[in-house]
Amino acid sequence: MSEPIRSYEPATGALLWEAPPSDVHEQIRLVERCWPAWAAMPSSYRIETMRRFANGVRAAEDALADLIARETGRPLWHARAEVAELVDRVDRAIAAYSERTGQRRLEGALGARMALRHKPHGVMAVIGPHVMPARVPADHIVPALLAGNGVLFKPSEKTPATGEMLVQLLHEAGIIEDLVQCVIGGPEAARALVADDAVQGILFTGSTHAGVAIARSLAARPGKLLALEMSGNNPIVAWDTADIASAAALVVQSAFTASGQHCLAGRRLIVRDTLRDPLVEEIKSLADRLVIDHPHADPSPFMGPVIDMDVADGLTESFLYLMSNGGRPIKHMQRPFDGLPFVTPAIIEVTSMRERPDVELFGPLLQIVSVLNFETALAEVNNTRYGLCATLIGGGPEEYDRLWSNSHAGIVNWNRPSFTVAPNAPLGGVGLSGNHHPGGHYAADYCAYPVVSAEVDQPRATIGIGLKALEIVADR
C-alpha cells in the first residue's frame, strides 16, 4: 500500500494535512468522459461559472490565505495578496479568452465565408509549484476551463492542501466534480499524467530540471501540447542613481520577498563600481532589519521559512560553496531556529569568482557582481542560460533601452521590483526559463487551438484548366 502524502507546516514542523495518493489513471478516465459535455456548453455558461468561482474565492479569502500561509510558511499578508491577485486574474482570464480566442469572420474569395474559431484540446494536465500554490496554477486552470477543456491538477507534493482547497472551490462554483480532478502524488503522478495518451496538453510551472525532463519524454510526441514556465537566474542592474535608499529597497524586495522563493526573484545584482559601496552597504543595513518569523507573528514578518529542510540545507551549502570558491561574504546566511527551515538573507560578492554557477539558488541569497561599464553589465546580464526577467534600477532611458534591446528575458522592468508583472500581460521567459508559451494573459493562446474554415451554403465548382478536351462521338 502506498505511503500517504503528508504536508507539514514549515514554520512549526506540525503535520498539516495527509491523504493517500490518487489513482491517476482512474482520474484521467473520469475527466476524459466528462469534458465533451462541458465543451458543448455555451461559452457564456463557462464564463459565468468562472465568475462564481472568483466570488467563492473572495468569500473564502481568510481560510484560503491562512492555509497558504501555514503550508508555505509565507507571511499572512503575502498569502492574502496572492488570494486577491487570484480573484483579479479570473476576470483577466475571461477578457483574454474573449480577446484572443473569440470567433471571427474573415474575408473570403468568390463569396465564401471565412471563419476562425477555437476548439478545446480535451484533457489538460496542470502541474503546479509550491510557489504561490493557488494563484499560479489558477492561471492555467481557469483559461483551460474557459476554453472547454477538462483539467487534472497536480499540486506540488509540498502544498497539496492548498491544491485540494482550490479544486473544492471550483466544484462549489458549479464545476462537475469529474471535470476537474485534484491529483495527489509526487513525481510519479506527474510522470503518469505526461505519459497517458488521453492527456492532450501539459501546462507545467516549476523547476527547469523537471520541465526539461518532461520535454525530453515528449520529444517524439509533437501532438501533445507542452507549455513550460520554469526557473530564472534573474539579474538586477544597478546604475547611476542619487536615491540610494530607494534602490536598496527595490533590491531587497526583489531578492528577499517570499524568502526568495519566487521564480521572478532577483538572484544577481550587477552594480556599477562607483555605486557599489554605498548601495551594498544600504542593502545590508536594510536586510539586517528584516523580521523573520512564523506567518502569523506580530509584528508581521517580512520573511518566513523556506519550504522545507532540504531546501534550507541546500541554500546553506550553496553559500558555503560560493564562499569556498572565491566569493566574499557580505552578509552570512544563518539558521535562526534549530530544526526548522528558516534562513536569514545572505549577500555575497562573486566578482572575483572565475566560474560562477549558472543555477537558480531558490531562496534569499543575493550574489553581487561589480562592473566598470554598461557593456560589461549587459554581458553579465546575459551570462546565463536562463531568460526569465531582467531589471534596471537607476540609469536613464538610454540604459533602459539598451537593457530592453539586448537582454534575453521575457520580462524587463525599470525601477520596479523584479517580480512586477501587469495582470493583463504575458508571463514567461526564454532559454531554460520557458518554451515560448508564456502564461498569464497569453495562456488563452494555447488552451484552445485555432480552426479556420471556408464556408459556402451550396457546392459550386468547375475545373477550368488541365483537363483533356471532351471527345464527342457522333450518332451512327
Give the whole-angstrom CA distance, residue 194 versus residue 433: 19
Give the whole-angstrom CA distance, residue 132 versus residue 336: 24
β-bridge mates for residue 186, sequence order:
none
| 392 closest CA partner among 282, 263, 270, 286 | 270
Give the whole-angstrom CA distance, residue 124 versus residue 201: 5
Q: Cell digits for 21?
A: 495518493
Question: Which residues are annotated as catalytic?
Answer: 229, 263
Q: Cell digits for 78?
A: 503575502
